[in-house]
Amino acid sequence: MCGEVRQPALEELKDFASTFLDREVIVTPRALTEEYTFAATPGMRLNVLAYQRIGGQGEPVPVISSMWFGYGSDHSGFNAKFEGIVTKPTWAEDFGVRRCLVPVIEFKEARVKFGSKSGDLSMLAAIFTKYETASARHLALITRAAYGSVAGFHERMPMAVDTEHADTWLNREHLLTAAERLEFVATKIPMKVRG
């Protein structure tokens, strides 16, 4: 899934996120600064947008930081299938309280590039771990059965959150029950792609 991903430069991401969240976004020292393309292989670091408590205290605020792509010390769990996200112990707790967005300009599968129809950044739905290793947390993209133009190249695809629903996805004070989270994912975050 996602053979290659292109992420925006930090300043573009910060401006974009601050605009649609309508509030200041904190950039952590871990954030990667340049636009870059990487082979979406487990163990890569990539920028994410998440709500976190600064210094472990106070209200969660939006932050941009980098995380390891893949769960576990071997980074083997890098796609959390939507169909089992509530029932599998690996994903269930994190789906409840540790949700983030992975900003991408585009992703490439089988030499075909996909991105948002509008040309804006796509914000891929992801979850992350509560523990850190090598100074960063680990994340997994939430995927679903592929449809549309992606289906001809891969059986799975990432799920994207549009800017209208990003705050709901990121804020752990929203979507408190598993049923609310599943309904949100099923109805509010379709991936609209250009192929």
Pick from 142, 125, 147: nearest CA to 195? 147
The model's pLDDT over 55-105, given as tens digits with 9 standing for 90+, comes to: 778 888 999 999 888 776 665 667 888 888 878 887 888 888 888 999 998
- CA 78 to chain CA centroid, Å, is 11
**What count of Cα atoms within 13 Å lies in the side-chain half-sphere of residue 110?**
11
pTM, entire model: 0.85
Q: Report the chain's mean pLDDT, rounded to a whole number.
A: 80
136-145 and 156-158 strand pairing: antiparallel
The model's confidence at residue 195, banded by pLDDT at 50, 70 and 90, is very low
Output the six-digit token pair for 142. 């939430």
How far CA 122 is from CA of 41, 56, 119, 135, 158, in Å, comes to: 19, 29, 8, 26, 10
- What's the DSSP call for residue 84? G
Q: Give the position of tokens 């409840």.
A: 96
Contact between 82 and 147 (Cβ < 8 Å): no
Pick from 143, 172, 170: nearest CA to 62? 170
Question: For the residues 13-34, what does the mean pLDDT come to?
Answer: 92
The model's pLDDT over 93-140, given as tens digits with 9 standing for 90+, comes to: 888 888 899 999 887 776 677 777 676 788 888 998 877 666 678 888
- For each of the domains in the chain, give its residue range(s) and CATH number, in order of start: 4-188 (3.90.1680.10)
Predicted local distance difference test score (pLDDT) of residue 132: 67
Instruction: Give the Cβ contact number of residue 33 at 10 Å.
Output: 11
Output the six-digit token pair for 29. 């020292």
Predicted local distance difference test score (pLDDT) of residue 73: 60
